[in-house]
Structure 1
Amino acid sequence: MKCLVAGGNVKVLGKAVHSLSRIGDELYLEPLEDGLSLRTVNSSRSAYACFLFSPLFFQLYQAATPGQDPPRCKILMKSFLSIFRSLVMLEKTVEKCCISINERSGHLVVQLHCKYGVRKTHNLSFQDCESLQAVFDPASCPHVLRAPAKVLGEAVLPFPLALAEVTLGIGRGRRVILRSYQDEDADSTVKAMVTEMSIGEEDFQQLQAQEGVAITFCLKEFRGLLSFAEPANLSLSIHFDTPGRPAIFAISDSLLDGHFVLATLLDPPPNSQDLLSLEVPRPVPQLQAHSTPHLDDFASDDIDSYMIAMETTVGSESSRTLPSVSLSPGLQPSCHSEEEDEAELSTVPGTPPPKKFRSLFFGSILGPEHSPLHPSPVLAEDSEGEG
C-alpha cells in the first residue's frame, strides 16, 4: 500500500486523526479499492467512527501490490496522532505526506515532505489485524436532522468542556433543543446550572422528526466530528431512532465520507413540554440484561440486529472480502481554537461512556455475504471478560 497526500489535504487528514482520537486508543488503517479507510472504536464498544478517503483525495493511491491482497494494520492512536499533533505546522511547513506499509519490516511508514527539502520519516510498528466494521443503515432511522456544521457548532459552544452528555430533542414549534444532561447521581453543585440552546427549523436543511422525540449521547465525540466538519463547511446529518438505539452522525463530500455511531441513553423520550422546560427530567435508566447466568451492564436485544462490530479472520480467503457498507451516498466544531483542541486531546483519548449506555458492538465472525441492509444475528455473545 502506498498513498501520497499533497497540499491542504495533509491538514484535512490530520484533522480526521484528531477527531478519531477522541474515541479510540487504536487506529485501524485499511486500504480499499474505493479509498483509504481509517476506523476506531472505544474500549466499551459504545462508539464507532470511520473516515473513508476517496482515491481522488490522494495525489497517488495504490491499495495493494499487484497480485497481493490489500494489507490491514492496527496501530496505537497515540503514535499516529503524534505525527499530526500540530495542525498549524502541517499547514505551514508540510507540502506532502507519503504513507506506505513495509510488510517485511512490519512498519507503517509516514514521511512528511517539508519546505526547504526537509523530510521527516516515522516508522510505526503495526499489527496484522482483523477488519473492524460496523453494520448500520441510516435509512432505517425514522428521524433525520441535517444542518451546516457551523450551526450545530455554535449551538454546543455554551456547554462546558467537562459536560459528559447532551440531550437533543424537538420542542414546540419544531425547534431543535440542545440541553445539558445531568445524572441524578451528579453532585448538587453540578446540578445547579442547566444550559439549553434552541435552534429554529429554518436553520436546518432537513428536519424529519416529530415534536417530543429526544436522545441523549456523549458530547465529546460529537464535538470531535464538529471540529472536522465546521472548518470544511460541511453539512452534518443526524439519523436517530428511539432512546437506547444508536445515533448515526454523518458527513459527506466528493473526496471523503465520515460516520460516527454513538450509543444513546436508555431513557424514555420526554414530551415537547419537557423539552421547553429548563427542569431536566431524571428518569432512572432501566437497563436490560443478557440472558446469561450473570447480569451484564448492557442490553443486546435490538442492538444485535442493528450494530455489529465485525472482525474477520486474517488468514482465510473469505476474510479478505470486506462487508459491503456504503459510506458515500447522501450522507461523518470544535467551537474553541486549535490550541484548546490540542490541549483537550492531551487527555485520555476517547471517553468511554458510563454503563447507563448500551454497548453498540458485539464481536462476531460474519461471512462476506452479509450487508448492512440485512444484518445477521450475533454468533457469539459478548461477555464481561471481553474488552
Structure 2
Amino acid sequence: MKGVITGGNVKVLGRAVHSLSRIGDELYLEPTDGGLSLCSVNSSRSAFASFLFAPLFFQLYQLGEPQPFRCKVLMKSFLGVFRSLPSLEKTVGKCLILLKPSANRLVLQLHCKYGVTKTHNLAFQECERLQAVFDVQHCASSLCAPARVLAEAVVHFPQTLAEVTLGAGPGGKISLQNYVEDEMELKKTMVTELWLAEDEFQRVAVTPGSSITFCLKEFRGLLTFAEASNLPLTIHYDVPGRPVIFTLEDAVLEVHLVLATLLDPKSDSQPPLANGLPLPSDDLPDDLESYMVAMEAEEEPEVPPSPTFPLHTPCPAQSDPEEEEEEEEEEEGAVPGTPPHKKFRSLFFGSVLTPGEQRLAPTQEVLAEDSDNDS
C-alpha cells in the first residue's frame, strides 16, 4: 500500500493519531478499496475508535498485494512521528505512507521544508480485523451538535473526572453531570451539572428521562479532533449498559467512537437488547458480562448478513471474601478515564460483516478469557 498526504491533511492525520492514542496502546491499520482504516481498542474492551480516510483524502492512494492485509503497530511508535502538531503544519509539506508486507515494515516519510526528509521505519504484526459490533439504527435516542458546544460544556469538568452522565430532560434539554458512584461520597463531592437548550443542537431525538454514563477521557479526545476539524458530532445511545456511539462524517473522513456505558444498578428492567435479541445474563452478583471474538473472514456464497449474536463467556468460579477485597483495592487504584472492569459492560468485538462475507455463528470460539481474570 502506498499513500501520499499533502498540505493540511497531514495535520488532520496527526490529530487523528492523537485522538486514537487516548484509546489503546496499539494501532490497527487496514488499507481497503474504501480507504485507509486506523483503529484502536483499550485493554478492557470498553472503548473502540476508528478513523476511515477515503482515497480522496490522499494525493495518491494505491493498494498493493496481498489483499486484504491487516496489521498493528505500537501506538507509541506511530504517535512519535506526529508528536508535534504545530510543527507538522509549519514544516511538513508531504507525508508518504508505505506499507511493505514482505519486509514487515511500515515506512512513514515526512518531506519538510528546505529539502529535509525524515524517514521512520516501524515494525508491525499481521493481525485479524477487530471491529466493535454496533448498529446505530437500534439506538432509541440520538442528538447532533457542533463540536464546539460540547467542548465548551465539558471544559467545566476537572481533567481527573473519570465518568460523566448525559441525560435528557423536559423540553428537549440535555444535561451533563459528573458521576459519583457512592451516595456517601455524593455528600462530600461537588456536583457539576450543565443544561443545554434544544436550540444548541442541530438535531435532538431522545427518549425523555433517558440517561447514560460513560468515560470522559476518550470523549475529550474525540471532541478535540472534531472541534479542530469543525465537524458536527452525532451521539447515538440506548438504555444504560448498551454502547454509546459517537460519529463524525465528512466527504473524505468517517469516524466512530464506541464506549461502554454504566449499567443502572437500580433498574429492574429486562437485560438490554443486542440487535433485537436479549443478551445472555448470568447469576453473578455484579454487572460484568464480557464478550470478545476474533474471527477470520472466509469466502462464502453471497447471503445477507445475519444479526450478530453476542457470545457469553463461562461463569467464573465463586470467589472468596479475600479475593473480593483484593479486587476492590485494584478498582480503587484505577486510572481516570479507564473504567473499573466490574462497572462497565464490555463491548462486543468481531469481524466486520460485509456482503459476500461469512455470517457470524453463535458458536464461534471465544479467544479471550473472562475479564475477571485480567490483571
**What band does the TM-score fall into relative to the shorter chain?**
0.7 to 0.9
| Alpha-carbon spacing, 1:87–1:185, altered in 2? closer, same or farther (3 Å) | farther
Tell me the equivalent position of 2:232.
235
Is 1:311 the counterpart of 2:294? The answer is yes
Deviations 1:230-252 (A, max 9, x none): 01110000000000000000010
Corresponding residue of 1:8 = 8
Q: Which residue in 2 is equivalent to 1:81?
A: 79
Q: Once structures 1 and 2 are overlaid, which stretch shifts more, 129-138 or 253-262?
A: 129-138
User: Which of the numbers 241, 247, 251 marks the counterpart of 1:250?
Assistant: 247
Amino acid at match of 1:379: Q
1:196/1:10 Cα in 2 relative to 1: closer, same or farther (>3 Å)? same
Q: Structure 1 residues 188 and 291, CA, compared in 2 at 3 Å: closer, same or farther?
A: closer
Q: Report the 3-state secondary structure (helix = DSSP H, G, I; strand = E; otherwise coil) of the residue aligned with 1:254.
A: coil
Distance 1:54 1:24, change over 3 A: same
State whether residues 145 and 201 of structure 2, in contact with CA within 8 Å, keep that contact through their aligned partners in structure 1. yes
Measured in 2, the distance between the counterparts of 1:83 and 1:229 equals: 21
Contact 1:46–1:262 (Cα < 8 Å) also in 2? yes
The change in CA–CA distance for 1:350 and 1:195 in structure 2 (over 3 A counts) is closer
Pick aligned residue for 2:89 from 67, 88, 91: 91
Aligned to 1:218: 215
* Number of residue pairs matched by the alignment: 330
TM-score, with normalisation over the residues of structure 2? 0.80
| Amino acid aligned to 2:365 | A
Change (3 A) 1:187 1:260: same
Equivalent of 1:71, from 69, 72, 80?
69
Q: Distance in 1 between matches of 2:34 and 2:23?
A: 24
User: Does 2:206 align with 1:209?
Assistant: yes
User: What is the aligned partner in structure 1 of residue 340 from structure 2?
Assistant: 354
Structure 1 residues 365, 50: closer, same or farther in 2, change over 3 A?
Answer: closer
Contact 2:31-2:69 at 8 Å conserved across structures: yes
8 Å CA contact 1:266–1:357 kept in 2: the answer is yes
Please state if 1:160 is matched with 2:158. yes
The alpha-carbon distance between structure 1 residues 112 and 44, as it changes in their structure 2 partners (threshold 3 A), is same
Change (3 A) 1:37 1:244: same
State the TM-score, normalized to the length of structure 1. Answer: 0.77
Displacement of 1:383 in angstroms is: 2.6
Q: 1:298 to 1:127 in 2, by over 3 A?
A: same
Deviation per residue, 1:233-285 (Å, 9 max, x gap): 10000000000000000010011000000000001689xxxxxxxxxxxxxxx
Distance 1:90 1:129, change over 3 A: same
Counterpart of 1:170? Answer: 168
Q: 1:314-333 to 2 correspondence within 5 Å?
A: 318=299
**1:379 corresponds to which residue?**
364
Give the C-alpha shift of residue 30 in structure 1: 0.4
Tell me the amino acid that sits aligned with residue 289 of structure 2.
A
The one-letter amino acid paired with 2:108 is V
Instruction: Write the distance in 2 (CA, Å) between the matches of 1:9 and 1:350.
Output: 32
Opposite residue 201 of structure 1, the aligned amino acid is: E
The secondary structure found in structure 1 opposite 2:228 is: coil
Matched, 1:299 2:289: yes
Residue deviations 1:324-351 (CA, integer Å, cap 9, x gap): 8xxxxxxxxxxxxxxxxxxxxxxx9994
2:3 and 2:97 in contact (8 A); partners too? yes
- Rounded Cα–Cα distance in structure 1 between residues aligned with 2:226 and 2:266: 28
Alpha-carbon separation, structure 1, partners of 2:352 and 2:299: 10
| 1:243 to 1:376, Cα distance in 2 relative to 1, 3 A | farther
Specify every segment of 5 or more residues in structure 1 that has no aligned partner in the other structure, as ranges: 271-287, 325-347
Q: Flag the structure with more relative contact order, 1 or 2, with Cα contacts below 8 A and sequence separation at least 6.
A: 1
| Letter paired with 2:346 | S
Question: 2:62 maps to which residue?
Answer: 62
Q: Which structure 2 segments of 5+ residues have no match? A: 268-278, 306-333
Q: Give the counterpart letter for 1:256 in structure 2.
A: L
Partner of 2:328: none
Q: CA RMSD in A?
A: 3.2
